[in-house]
Amino acid sequence: MERIYIFDTTLRDGEQSPGASMDVDQKYEFALQLARLGTDVIEAGFPISSPQQFKACKVISEKVKGPTIAALARAVKKDIDAANESTKDAEKRRIHTFIATSPIHMKYKLKMDPDDVVKMAVDAVKYARNLVPEVEFSPEDGTRSELQFLIRIIEKVIDAGASIINIPDTVGYTIPREFGAFIKAIIEGVPNMDKAILSVHCHNDLGLAVANSIEAIQNGARQVEVTINGIGERAGNAALEELVMALNVRKDFLPYETGIDTTQIYNTSRFLSSIIGFPIPRNKPIVGDNAFSHESGIHQDGVLKKRETYEIMTPQSVGRDASTLVLGRHSGMHGFSKRLKELGLSLEKEELDKAYKQFLEIADRKKEVFDDDLYVIVSDQLGHKTAKYVLDYFNIQSGNMAVPTATVRILEDNEKHEEAAVGDGPVDAVFNAIDRITGIKTKLLEYSVQAVTPGRKAIGEVSVSLEIDGKKFVGRGSSTDIIEASARAYVNALNRYAAFLESKEELKEAKV
C-alpha cells in the first residue's frame, strides 16, 4: 500500500467560501479536531491577509501538535515573512508559496513575462527555504498553464529547495482523464521530480474535484489537498470525506492508504457545519442525513436480509453511530465534560461552565440530549466568546388575527439596548427590532430551518444569510424555540459582520 498524504485546507481555502469565516478560537478548536482526524498537514491560513489570519496561524502553531502546520504566502518576501513568523512555534511546519503560471493569469492579472514569473518563484522558494525546512510551491491555475512552462518552473523551484509541488486546478476546469495524463507528463517531464512529492489541489466547479484527485493519485500524486464537507472558494474543493472513503472502500482498485481515522469523519463534518453555519445537504455523500438511509421497500428488504446489498460501507466506519442518546440532566458536569472530551470538543473553564448551563437548559426542555446537540452548544459558546452582540431577551405577540410584534433586548459590547417592531410574521418582527437596535442595514438573502436531532422537542438550527454593505454574512443559531433560533442566527451573522469590520480596521492599522 502506498501512502497518500492528506493536506487539509479547510481553514484556508475552505474559509474563502463566501460566508464561512471563523474566528481564531473556532479555528483553533477545529484544528484540534483535524489533528484527531489524522490529517498530515493543516493549512492554517494566509497570515499576511489579516491580523486575525496571522493570529490563527500562530495559535494553531503553538498549540496543535501532530500534523505539519502550513501557512500560505504569495511569492513575495513580506508574505513569506508573515508565514514564517506565524508558524515559528509549530512542531513541524511548512511555507506554501504560490504564483500564477497560466498565460491568462500572467498576462492580465500579474502583467508579468513568464521569465520574470520563474525568477520570482525561484527567489521566493529560496528565501522561504532559508527560513523553514519544508517549502511547498504551487503554480496557480496550473491546469490552464502550458505543460512545458510548468516543467521548466517546477524543475527550477525544486532546485531552489521546494520539496512539495502542488498542481492546482484553480478554476475546476480539468476533467479526470486529461488531468491524469497531465500529472503523468509532469512527473515524467521534470528531471528532478524524484526530489519532491507531487500534490494536487482540485476545485469543484464541474463537480469533478474528487474524481480528478483520484485520477491524479493513480498517476503518481502522493499528496491531495482537500477540505471538510468540500467547502472552499466558489463551488469548493475536493471533499476530504469523499476522497478518503473512496480510497478506503475501493482498496481493491486503489491500493493506497492514508493516516485518517475514518471514525472521526462524521464528528468533524458536523463540528464544521455548526461552526460556520452551513447546513449539510441531506444527500451529501458520507455525511448527509440520507447517506445511509434506505427509503424504498425493496432496498429496506435487501438491507435487512444482507446489509451489503445496498450499503458499500457501514455508518460506523465513518463514525455515524454517534447520534444515539447520550446524556440527560442527571449526567451532571462530569458526564457532560467527559462526553465532550470523547467527541474531541474542548472548552476552557469559563466557556465550559456556560456550556454546561446551556446543556442543563436544553436537558430540561427536551430531556434527551444527543451528540449533535453538544456540537451546537460548543459552537455557540465559541461564538459567544468574541461576540459584539448578544441576544439577551425577546418577547413575541403573534397570532392569525394579530399584527406580529416583537420586543428584543440585545447586549452590544455588554450594554443593554431594547427596541420593539412589527413585521410580516414573528421572525420578521424580531429581525426588524434587531435592525432598529444595531442600525445596520441588512438584506435577508436566505433563511432555513433544520431539526438537528430527532423528535418533536428537537433543537432547531436556523441559518440565515445577510447582505450587508454588498458582502454576504452567514449566521447560525439554535434553540428548541424556532423564533429564538432565528434571532440567534441573525445576531450571529451581525457578529460576523462586526468581526469583519474589526479585521479591516486592524489591517488598516497594520499597514500604516
Identify what 140 binds: ligand KIV, Zn ion, none; CB under 5 to 8 Å per kind.
ligand KIV
Contact 443, 467 (CB under 8 A): yes
Phi and psi dihedrals of 284, rounded to 5? -65, 130
The 3-state DSSP class for residue 493 equals helix
Q: Residue 14 interacts with ligand KIV (CB under 6 A)?
A: no
The residue (of 138 and 442) whose beta carbon lies closer to ligand KIV is 138
The residue (of 105 and 320) whose beta carbon lies closer to Zn ion is 105
Output the smallest distance, CB 166 to ligand KIV, in A.
Answer: 6
Gap between the Cα atoms of 168 and 171, Å rounded? 8
Gap between the Cα atoms of 278 and 475, Å rounded? 9
Gap between the Cα atoms of 487 and 475, Å rounded? 10
Residues 407-436 that bind ligand KIV (CB under 6 A): none
Contact characters 189-208, ligand KIV, x per CB under 6 A: ------------x-x-----
Interface with Zn ion by CB under 5 A: which residues? 13
Identify what 98 binds: Zn ion, ligand KIV, none; CB under 5 to 8 Å per kind.
ligand KIV
Query: What dihedral do alpha carbons 246, 252, 257, 262 form, nearest 10°?
Result: 50
The residue (of 200 and 343) whose beta carbon lies closer to Zn ion is 200
The residue (of 140 and 461) whose beta carbon lies closer to ligand KIV is 140
Gap between the Cα atoms of 310 and 298, Å rounded? 10
Identify what 94 binds: Zn ion, ligand KIV, none; CB under 5 to 8 Å per kind.
none
Q: Residue 43 interacts with ligand KIV (CB under 6 A)?
A: no
Number of amino acids touching ligand KIV (CB under 6 A)? 8
Q: Residue 13 interacts with ligand KIV (CB under 6 A)?
A: yes
Output the smallest distance, CB 100 to ligand KIV, in A.
Answer: 8
Closest residue to Zn ion, based on beta-carbon distance: 13
Question: Which of 226, 325, 229 lies closest to 277 in space, CA to CA?
Answer: 229
Buried b (16+ CB within 10 A) or exposed e, 177-209: eebbebbbebbeebeebeebbbbbbbbbbeebb
Contact characters 125-164, ligand KIV, x per CB under 6 A: -------------x-x------------------------
Output the smallest distance, CB 74 to ligand KIV, in A.
Answer: 9
Gap between the Cα atoms of 344 and 478, Å rounded? 21
What is the Cβ-side half-sphere exposure of residue 312, based on CA atoms within 13 angstroms?
10
One-letter amino acid at 348 equals: E
Q: Which residues bind ligand KIV (CB under 6 A)?
A: 13, 98, 138, 140, 168, 170, 201, 203
